[in-house]
A and B are shown apart, each in its own frame.
Chain A
Amino acid sequence: MRRRQQGILTGMPFMANIAPRTFVDDLDRKLYLAKPPKRIVSLAPSITEMLFAIGLDEEIVGVTDFCNYPPAALAKPKVAYSQPNLESLIVLEPQLVLAPPSFLRADLLAKLEQLKIPTFVLESKTVEGIFGHIQLLGRMVGRAPEANAYTAEMRKNVTALTKRVEGRPRPTLLYVLNSEPLITVGPGSFIHHLIELAGGRNAAERANAPYPRLTMEEVLTQNPDILLFPVGEYEGIPQTEQDRWKRWDTLRAVQNGKLFQINSDVLNRPGPRVIEGLRHLVKILHPDVDLEDSVQKPSP
C-alpha cells in the first residue's frame, strides 16, 4: 500500500506508527488524521451520499446547495457549491473538508490549508474508484467494517448487473447533455464508463474529449438506437428541446420512439447510487433483461 511504502522509504521508523492514519488524496496530497474527524463538510453531492451510506449522519455538519440525497442531507447547513463561502465553512468548525477537484479553486484550497482545516480531495472516475473511496472514507472516519461491507454489497450488485448484459449486442446510446449546441459525454467521462458497463455503446466513443461538442453529422452516422436525456431537480432538458430531436427521423432512436429520460443525479454523481443509475441504464439498453431477482437495492 502506498502509505506504508512512503513511511518506509523516507527511512523514518516512527512513521510506521503514524502511517495508518495518513491518507493520500487524489491530488497526491498527504493528510494526517490523529483521530476520526467528528465534524465533516462535504463539497460534492456524491461525497455527501457516500458519507451517509456509511452511516455518518451525525458527523456531517455541512453540505452543498446541490446535496439533495438522502433527504436528511437537505436539513444540513449549506456552504454553496462551486464557490463555497469560506465564512460559512469556517463557522461550521470542520475537522475535515471533503472536496471534488473539478470545482475546487486553488486559492480556496490554499486558504483552507493556511487555516489548518484538513482538506481531502477525491474524485471517482470509475465504479471501482467509488468502492475505493468509500473504503478510504471508512478508514478515515473509523468505520472501516461498515464501509467494507457496504462496498462488498455494491460490488455484488454491479457484478450481477454486468453479468446479465454480458455477451449481448450493444445498442448505441447518445447522452444529450445539451442540444443547441450538441454537447454529450465522451471517453474519459464517468457517464461514458457507465454506458459501457451497462452493455451499451456510446455514440460519441470516437470523440476526443470527455464532454465533446459532437457534430450532428457524427450523430447521424453513428445512428444511435437510444437518445437519453438527463432530467433532474437542478439539471435537465425541457420537453420542447427533446421534441426538436424528433425531426431527425433517420435515427433509429427516433423511428422506434426510444427517447428516454434519466434522473441525472444517479448518473452524474460517482457515489453509492451509481447502482441505481446502472440499473436504469441496463433497463433502457436491454429492456428484455430481467433485473428483479438479481439486485437488491442497497440501503443507504
Chain B
Amino acid sequence: MKPILDAPSQRSPSSAFSLERAIVRLPVSNAVPASRQTLTRSRWWLWVGAACVVTLLVFVVCLGFGTQTISYSTIIAVIMGATTGPSMELGSSDPTSVILLQVRMPRVVLAFFVGGSLAMVGVALQALLRNPLADPFVIGISSGAALGAAIALLFGLGISVGSLSALPVCAFAGALLSLIIMYRISSAQYGFSVYTLLLAGVVLNAIFSAFIMFLTSIADPNQAFGMYAWLMGTLTGPDWPTLGILVLYLGAGLVILGIHAQSLNLLTLGEETARSLGVEVERVKKMVFLSAALLTGAVVSFSGIIGFVGLIIPHAVRLVVSADHRLLLPVAGLVGGMFLMLADTVARTALSPSEFPVGVITALVGGPIFLWLLTTRQTQLGMK
C-alpha cells in the first residue's frame, strides 16, 4: 500500500519541474501552497505519521463514549486484559468488557474502515473522472450498490451482513454497473463538464432509488422497515470474523488504489498526457474502477448508503496537505476514517439509549459543504 516515492534527486530536474507545474494547473488541485510543495519522503512520513497519531487519539476518544459510561482507566484495563490474557477469546462474564470489546470497538473499527474507504474512493474517482465533485454517493455508485444489496436482501440471501454471502457480491455488481454507466456517459462526449456528471449522477441516483422503492413496496412491511433503516446508512457492531472479511475486501481495493497513486497523478493531467508519460491508461482506469466498485460494494453491503464522506474529506485534505495522490490517498483515508468514527459516536450517543443513522450526520455536515464548494469555489474547481 505504501506508495512508490521518487526522491527529488532521483528524478531529472526538468521532468520534475514540468510535473509540478502541471499539477498546479489541474482542475482538481486547488491553487493552495500545500499542493505546490514537492513531495519528499520526509514530508510523506510527517503527514502520514501525524494522521496516524491523530487517528489513534480519535479512536481512543470514541471508545470512551457510549450508552454505558466506561471510564478510560477501565478501558485500558480491559484492553490490557484482552491482549495479555491467555487468549483473545474475550471473557464472557463481564458485561463491561463485552460492551467494550464486542460492541463498541468493532463498531468504531468498522466506522474507521468505512469512512477511510469512502474517502479513498472519492479521491480515486475525482482523479479518474477529472471531476472535483465526484463521490460514490453523489454520482450514484452507492445507490447502485444499494440496489444490488437490496435485491440480495429481498430474495432472502440473508441479513447476515458481510459474511461470505451473496450480499457483498450483489452490492459489488450494482456498484460496477453504475460505474460502467457513469464511465460510458463521461467518455461519450468531448468536453464533458462537471455539471453534466452531477446531473448524470442525480439521474442515476433517481433511477436506482426508484428500483429500491419498488423493492421496498413489494417487500412485506417488516422487511421494508429493516431495509429502510439499513439504507439510511447504519453502522452496527459486527463480530470480529465478519469485520475481518470486510477488511479483506477493503484491503484488496485499497492496495490496488495505492499501487496506482502515481498513475492517478498523471491521469489528472488528462489521458493523452498520461499516455505520453508512459501510463497504461486503459489498464489503470479499469483497475481503479474495479477497486472503487469493490470498495463501495463492500462498504454499502455493510453499512448502507453513507453520503458525502468521499467528497468533503478529499477536498479538506487536498487543501491542507497535498494534491499528490501518493500522499493524498493515505491521508484522506485516515482522515475519512476519523471523521466517520466521530460522526458515528454522535449517532450512537446523542439519543441514548436509541440511536439514529450515521448517514444523517454525514449528509448534514457534507451537504452544506458540497453546496458551498459548488457556489463559491467554481473557479478554483475548474468549473468555469
Contact = CB atoms under 8 A, between A and B. Distances in A.
Q: Do A and B bind each other?
A: yes
Interface of A: 82, 177-183, 186, 204, 206-209, 212-218, 220-221, 223, 230, 234-236, 238, 240-241, 244, 247-250, 264
Contacts of A213: 229, 234, 354-356
Interface in B82-99: 92-95, 98-99
Interface stretch (B128-136, B155-163, B269-277): B155-163
Contacts of A215: 66-67, 103, 348, 352-355
B104 A217 contact: yes
Contacts of B221: 82, 234-235
Q: Which of A216, A220, A223, A264 has the most CB of B within 10 A?
A: A216
Interface in B304-361: 348, 351-357
Given A221-B68, A250-B92, A180 B159 contact: yes
A254 to B, nearest CB: 10
A216 B234 contact: no
Nearest to A205: B353
B181 to A, nearest CB: 29
Given A178-B222, A180-B159, A234-B221, A250 B353 contact: no
7 contacts: A180-B236, A214-B354, A215-B348, A215-B353, A217-B353, A220-B103, A250-B95
Nearest to A83: B217
Contact of A216 (B103, B220, B352): B103
B260 to A, nearest CB: 34
A235 B349 CA distance: 30
Interface residues of B, number: 37
Contact of B222 (A186, A235, A240): A235
B158 A240 contact: yes
Contact of A217 (B103, B220, B229): B103
Contacts, number: 107
A249 B92 contact: yes
A207 B352 CA distance: 8
A218 B221 CA distance: 26
Contacts of A186: 354
A47 B222 CA distance: 19
Contact of B95 (A82, A183, A220, A241): A220
A299 B95 CA distance: 47
B239 interface: yes
A218 B236 CA distance: 13
Contact of A212 (B159, B223, B236, B354): B354
A236 B225 CA distance: 12
B129 to A, nearest CB: 32
Nearest to B67: A217
B113 interface: no
Contacts of A247: 102, 239
Given A215-B352, A241-B160, A183 B99 contact: no
A208 B92 CA distance: 29
A247 B237 CA distance: 12
Contacts of B237: 216
B93 A183 contact: no
A247 B242 CA distance: 12
B235 to A, nearest CB: 8
A82 B225 CA distance: 13
B222 A177 contact: yes
B156 A238 contact: yes
B229 A183 contact: yes
B353 A214 contact: yes
A224 to B, nearest CB: 12
Contacts of B229: 178, 181, 183, 213
Nearest to A211: B225
Nearest to B91: A250
A209 B355 CA distance: 10
